[in-house]
Amino acid sequence: MARLILASASPRRRELLTQAGFSFTVKAADIDESVLPGEDPEAYVTRLAREKAQTIFDALDDAAAVVLGADTTVVLDGEILGKPLDKADAVRMLRALSGRTHRVITGVAVVTARGTDGTAEVTEVRFCELSDSEIAEYVETGEPMDKAGAYGIQGRAGKWIPRIEGCYFNVVGLPLARVCAMLREG
């Protein structure tokens, strides 16, 4: 396969690609991640994944390169829950997720000289009821601060998730089976 570049600074995406046996380099893209007016969550994350991958591809001097972009968000009642702005925002998000089912959506895009392929993966995640003290203790660990929806299923919050419907790796940040299929085809 041609040189693979991951257009993401996410340590979780790096771990998942490595786990799947890929050799790659990382070049994070710096783009505006604002939601466009009227943009639905699946379109939003797919657009960001494409923009990240395209930005890195355009900066390369390697027409044979394959660039993978990804973006993950949490959606509850139609509201996109990105990374928390501060501890209070993390508490707000976790209280909202408590005892509820939400969607985790990851947009992925592969850019090559032949073009761009992009899609989104959706996983439903069920949260247990959380007490205020559980939320406060978790937020104090700092773990929620760099994660969409203020939690990481692969970390301490995993104990509060009794059920998911869909791809576990999607919730971590990269739907591996989907990405592997896209890279094989691309």
Radius of gyration of the chain (CA): 17
Active site residues: 71
Q: How many angstroms separate the CA atoms of 156 and 138, rounded?
A: 8
Contact 118, 107 (CB under 8 A): yes
Q: How many angstroms separate the CA atoms of 182 and 174, rounded?
A: 12
Cα dihedral 101, 15, 55, 184, rounded to 10, equals -90
| Helix orientation angle between 132-140 and 87-97, rounded to the nearest 10 degrees | 140
Contact 32, 24 (CB under 8 A): no
Could you tell me the two tokens for 36? 């466009």
Q: From its phi and psi, is residue 175 left (phi > 0), alpha (psi between -120 and 50) or beta?
A: beta
Q: How many angstroms separate the CA atoms of 3 and 11, rounded?
A: 19
